[in-house]
């Protein structure tokens, strides 16, 4: 049993890396150990144990054999551990009453559980009785029922890890019922620690309880460590596996969630008499994963599978209602909630699941209503208030958010997300605001704040409002709030409640948060083209409002990228061509998941935009708007596509791929023959020549095979060779004569010439660079070289078109825009110089050099207001430089003379 499932469990544990949770050295050690620790193996094989004691211990540590389970009590314990709640042993009166009652509770048969526990005086029995009463809405009785456990814990010192754990679990119930101070967290952690550290180092149930508590508080790193330790003591630890599955779902790691669900199935089948049976816990993980992806119909299958076997299981019933809520069938949701209330009167669980699910789907108004109802029923349940507070923050209702988060942190001061979010929203209340016709800008004022930038934002914001609402034909009802946050940590907390997000701006509907575009510590990327970024995010605000937040994820992102009106960059072109030719384009379901995964996100953005372009190309500019109208009505994507485009999702995707090949042909990345094919011709020619001269037949056979493994992927590596043939200058010359405008061949020729010049381009190379730029118009490389060559020449103005090409694709530097301002200024075209100088100060609003450049150009244009704006910004940015004040005085005199 030592090695059972070893590689599977290691791979499951690795999901925490993808989840973004910290994986410390201790946890990494756990991944590398076998499933069962040596301490457990020694304990199970101890010579002083009787046969029954040894069998009991094997079952407890998940190491049983078939003969161990011939005993009814042991089989019942194993079945309960594996979540096979309807196993015959758990209906057998010979099994322990507590095990039979707990199985009944998992099945949702709380009345039966109470009957089974009648007369049971154990601490575990008292705790299970309290949980059953709580589930039935009999809260006062539950509080009374928990007294014996809590009293025993406080009255006497116990040497039993199991009894200590029961006491800790009882404290958690009382905390829920009474809203006790969150100081109980430390008490619980001490109890769990004493159970598995002092009393019984092999008592894994305490580790599982600790892992779930830590996860609830947002401490995922230590939670994962505790789960790993539990699995080292019990390789069949379903509770730890279910925790990892929950983490995977919550962090959009859906592949890992499916893997964990499969492992839970395999464990259940070690007990279940039906070899095709699945684990209810695994099915619920799958259901939550599909709900998280806004796929209620796919989630429904897994929920129905659980309910077919356990029709009263409360988690499955609550998720069943959440699925219906995602179908926007309000009347049926209320009817289902009423039926749930008949089973568990006064319970907040189903309301919470519905509210949380709708919040994830950005259905803020109904989500808040359900969460408030849940809060009324369970005023001492922190999770309800945390979820409500975060929702109110995302929807821009700060007063309501503060109230909910203060309540949440009072109940649970140790929840990281709630504490961070409350700290942020209280910080935001100190910010200054600027209000315009369509936007409200909030920013941190004072010395070192963002006032210089904030005071300039309204003009660009109004322009992008006209662009976005003009194309989409829709205007949000209220003003959009732009929160200009001073650094990346504050921005991350604003978006997720946690200080680690890999983006610089995000829209949650009526609120757009953005990181200040500054260089230096605590900034993710430094300077960036914030007007373009906000045009993208404001498109989200508009499309979400248009569709009542019911737009598919890929579609809102595609519309936002399209409305940036920026050219597709070279990296995205290569990414798309690679996916297209390699058969790895995302289908219509995968693409929505792609936006949630770091390794898939770039392709999801690029491909979504490409599919949006296909819709515009094939059906015209009205088609996206018509689709959004259908989404607003609650129509699912497949139905909307059939009605507007006349195609199902699958048909749309297949036709898109055919169109994409035609569209990509103009990028110069799919030209045939490829360099690999040309190189294969040379290899085969060499093979034929050697065959004629009688060379070794084995070598000829290898040459004739073309060494395709060697040429595959050479366009990506730019290493043009096989094991037997290298690309030579003579080959390139021959290919160029045959294919004079072939982008791949021109690139090879360009590399040869550059290598001969030690990597430095000169004017002699300009014609070749121009030819390559025309043949592969998406590659910025020739434009960079041409700009450099022409700037160093006697006619630097020739660099302008190449600088404009580069600037149109540059989002993180103002260097090209500033150089264009200088070049246009040098030839007296001050209007263009002013346009690019302004762009430079937009990308880098805190850069004094660009401010001076913009002020100089504005003075040339006699645009006194613009010049004054930049000089005033310089006074704020560099208060110690008196020269700026003198320039302002001089500017005033110039204005007087001009007037």
pLDDT for 512-549, tens place per residue? 988 889 887 777 778 999 999 999 999 999 999 999 98
Give one DSSP letter per residue of 260-271, joined into a string: HHHHHHHHHTTT
Closest of 400, 398, 395 to residue 433, by C-alpha: 398
Tokens of 524: 């993710």
Beta sheet of 439-443, edge-to-edge order: 432-435, 439-443, 480-485, 511-515, 505-507
In this structure, the number of other CB atoms found within 10 A of the CB of residue 497 comes to 22
Separation of alpha carbons 544 and 68, rounded Å = 58
Per-residue pLDDT of 855-873, as tens digits, reads 999 999 999 999 999 999 9
Q: Is the pLDDT of residue 695 over 60?
A: no
The enclosing H or E element of 507 equals: strand 505-507
Separation of alpha carbons 185 and 174, rounded Å = 12
Query: Which of the 8 DSSP states describes residue 412?
Result: -
Give one DSSP letter per residue of 823-841, joined into a string: HHHHTT-HHHHHHHHHHHH
First to last CA, the chain: 94
The enclosing H or E element of 638 equals: helix 637-644
With bands split at pLDDT 50, 70 and 90, how would you rate the model's confidence at 20? very low
Out of 10-14, 89-93, 251-255, 587-591, pick the least confident. Answer: 10-14
Closest of 745, 620, 619 to residue 671, by C-alpha: 745
Separation of alpha carbons 376 and 347, rounded Å = 10
Separation of alpha carbons 238 and 664, rounded Å = 49
Percent of the chain with pLDDT over 90: 66
Per-residue pLDDT of 260-281, as tens digits, reads 999 999 999 999 878 889 999 9
Separation of alpha carbons 723 and 711, rounded Å = 9
Q: Is the pLDDT of residue 564 over 90?
A: yes
Separation of alpha carbons 36 and 431, rounded Å = 55
**H helices of 220-295, where?**
220-233, 238-250, 254-268, 280-292
Higher pLDDT, 506 or 66: 66
* Residue the block writes with tokens 């297949």: 654
Residue range 114-141: mean pLDDT, rounded: 93
Q: Is the pLDDT of residue 412 over 70?
A: yes
Q: Average pLDDT of the chain?
A: 87
Q: Which residues of 563-592 are buried (b: 16+ CB within 10 A; e: fewer)?
A: bbebebbbebbbbbbbbbeeeebbebbbbb
Per-residue pLDDT of 778-837, as tens digits, reads 999 999 999 999 999 999 999 999 999 999 999 999 999 999 999 999 999 999 999 999
Q: Is the pLDDT of residue 373 over 80?
A: yes
Give the contacts of 10 (CB within 8 A, at least 6 positions apart).
31, 32
Output the CA angle 144-148-151, nearest 5 degrees: 110
Out of 101-105, 169-173, 204-208, pick the least confident. Answer: 169-173
Closest of 423, 399, 395, 419 to residue 409, by C-alpha: 419
> Burial of 467 by CB count in 10 Å (0-12 exposed, 13-18 middle, 19+ buried)?
middle
Residue 645 confidence (pLDDT):
97
The enclosing H or E element of 485 equals: strand 480-485
Residue 176 near residue 380 (C-beta atoms within 8 A):
yes
Q: Is the pLDDT of residue 722 over 60?
A: no
Angstrom CA distances, 196 to 56, 231, 538, 832, 881, stand at 19, 14, 52, 72, 65
Residue range 565-569: mean pLDDT, rounded: 95
**H helices of 33-138, where?**
38-44, 51-60, 72-81, 97-107, 110-117, 123-135
Residue 552 confidence (pLDDT):
92
Residue range 461-467: mean pLDDT, rounded: 97
Q: Is the pLDDT of residue 107 over 60?
A: yes
Tokens of 310: 């356990």
In this structure, the number of other CB atoms found within 10 A of the CB of residue 75 comes to 24
State the sign of the Cα–Cα–Cα–Cα dihedral 638, 641, 644, 646: negative
Angstrom CA distances, 754 to 493, 659, 679, 799, 885, stand at 48, 36, 21, 19, 49
Provide the 3-class DSSP secondary structure of residue 95.
coil
Separation of alpha carbons 121 and 519, rounded Å = 66
**H helices of 705-814, where?**
708-711, 714-717, 729-738, 743-756, 766-775, 781-791, 800-809
Higher pLDDT, 290 or 411: 290
Q: Is the pLDDT of residue 1 over 80?
A: no
Residue 772 near residue 747 (C-beta atoms within 8 A):
yes
């Amino acid at each position: 049993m030592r090695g059972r499932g070893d590689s599977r469990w290691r791979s499951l544990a690795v999901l925490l890396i993808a989840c973004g949770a910290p994986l410390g050295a201790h946890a990494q050690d756990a991944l590398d150990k076998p499933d069962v620790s040596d301490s457990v193996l020694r304990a199970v094989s101890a010579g002083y144990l009787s046969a029954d004691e040894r069998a009991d211990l094997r079952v407890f540590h998940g190491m049983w054999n078939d003969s161990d389970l011939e005993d009814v009590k042991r089989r019942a314990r194993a079945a309960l551990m594996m979540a096979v709640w309807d196993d015959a042993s758990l209906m057998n009166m010979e099994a322990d009453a507590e095990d039979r009652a707990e199985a009944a509770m998992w099945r949702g048969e709380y009345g039966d559980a109470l009957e089974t526990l009648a007369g049971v005086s154990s601490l575990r029995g008292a705790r299970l009785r309290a949980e059953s009463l709580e589930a039935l809405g009999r809260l006062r009785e539950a509080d009374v029922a928990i007294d014996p456990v809590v009293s025993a814990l406080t009255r006497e010192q116990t040497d039993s890890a199991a009894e200590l754990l029961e006491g800790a679990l009882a404290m958690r119930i009382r905390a829920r019922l009474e809203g006790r101070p969150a100081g109980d967290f430390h008490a619980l952690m001490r109890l769990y620690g004493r159970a598995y550290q002092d009393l019984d180092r092999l008592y894994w149930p305490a580790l599982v309880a600790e892992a779930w508590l830590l996860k609830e508080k947002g401490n995922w790193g230590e939670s994962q460590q505790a789960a790993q330790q539990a699995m080292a003591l019990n390789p069949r630890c379903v509770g730890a596996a279910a925790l990892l599955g929950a983490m995977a779902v919550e962090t959009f790691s859906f592949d890992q969630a499916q893997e964990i669900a499969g492992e839970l199935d395999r464990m259940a089948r070690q007990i279940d008499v039906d070899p095709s049976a699945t684990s209810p816990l695994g099915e619920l993980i799958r259901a939550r994963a599909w709900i998280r992806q806004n796929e209620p119909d796919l989630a429904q299958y897994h929920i129905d599978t659980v309910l077919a076997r356990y029709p009263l299981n409360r988690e499955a019933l609550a998720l069943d209602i959440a699925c219906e809520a995602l179908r926007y069938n309000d009347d049926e949701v209320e009817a289902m909630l009423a039926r749930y209330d008949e089973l568990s009167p006064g319970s907040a669980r189903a309301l919470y699941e519905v509210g949380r699910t709708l919040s994830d789907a950005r259905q803020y108004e109904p989500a808040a209503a359900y969460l408030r109802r849940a809060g009324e029923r369970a005023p001492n349940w922190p999770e309800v208030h945390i979820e409500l507070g975060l929702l109110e923050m995302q929807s821009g209702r700060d007063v309501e958010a503060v109230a909910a988060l203060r309540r949440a942190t009072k109940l649970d001061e140790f929840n990281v997300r709630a504490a961070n979010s409350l700290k942020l929203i209280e910080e935001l209340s100190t910010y200054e605001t600027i209000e315009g016709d369509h936007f409200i800008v909030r920013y941190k004022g004072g010395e070192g704040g963002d006032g210089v930038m904030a005071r300039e934002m309204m003009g660009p914001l109004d322009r992008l409002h006209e662009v976005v609402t003009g194309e989409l034909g829709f205007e949000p009802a209220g003003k959009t709030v732009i929160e200009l946050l001073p650094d990346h940590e504050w921005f991350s907390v604003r978006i997720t409640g946690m200080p680690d997000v890999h983006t610089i701006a995000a829209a949650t509907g009526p609120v757009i948060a953005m990181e200040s575009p500054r260089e230096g510590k605590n900034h993710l990327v430094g300077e960036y083209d914030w007007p373009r970024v906000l045009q993208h995010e404001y498109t989200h605000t508009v499309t979400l409002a248009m569709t009542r937040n019911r737009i598919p994820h890929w579609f809102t992102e595609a519309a936002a990228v399209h409305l940036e009106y920026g050219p597709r960059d070279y990296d995205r072109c290569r990414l798309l061509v690679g996916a297209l030719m390699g058969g790895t384009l995302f289908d219509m379901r995968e693409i929505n998941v792609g936006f949630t995964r770091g390794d898939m996100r770039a392709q999801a953005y690029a491909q979504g935009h490409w599919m949006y372009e296909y819709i515009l190309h094939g059906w015209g500019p009205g088609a996206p708007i018509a689709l959004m109208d259908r989404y607003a009505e609650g129509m699912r994507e497949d139905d909307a596509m059939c009605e507007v485009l006349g195609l199902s999702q699958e048909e749309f995707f297949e036709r898109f791929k055919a169109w994409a090949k035609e569209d990509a042909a103009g990028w110069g990345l799919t030209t045939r023959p490829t360099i690999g094919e040309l190189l294969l011709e040379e290899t085969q020619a060499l093979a034929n020549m050697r065959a004629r001269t009688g060379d070794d037949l084995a070598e000829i056979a290898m040459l004739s095979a073309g060494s395709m493994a060697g040429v595959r992927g050479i366009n990506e590596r730019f290493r043009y060779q096989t094991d037997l043939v290298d690309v030579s200058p003579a080959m390139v010359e021959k290919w160029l004569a045959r294919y004079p405008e072939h982008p791949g061949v021109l690139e090879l020729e360009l590399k040869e010439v550059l290598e001969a010049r030690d990597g430095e381009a000169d004017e002699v190379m300009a014609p070749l660079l121009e030819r390559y730029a025309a043949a592969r118009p998406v590659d910025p490389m020739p434009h960079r070289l041409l700009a450099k060559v022409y700037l160093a020449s006697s006619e630097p103005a020739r660099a302008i078109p190449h600088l404009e090409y580069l600037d149109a694709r540059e989002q993180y530097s103002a260097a090209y825009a500033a150089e264009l301002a200088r070049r246009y200024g040098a030839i007296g075209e001050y209007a263009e110089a002013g346009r690019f100088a302004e762009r430079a100060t937009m990308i880098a609003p805190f850069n004094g050099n660009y401010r001076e450049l913009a002020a100089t150009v504005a003075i040339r244009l006699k645009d006194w207001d613009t010049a004054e704006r930049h000089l005033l910004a310089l006074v704020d940015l560099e208060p110690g430089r008196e020269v700026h004040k003198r320039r302002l005085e001089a500017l005033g005199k110039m204005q007087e003379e001009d007037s």
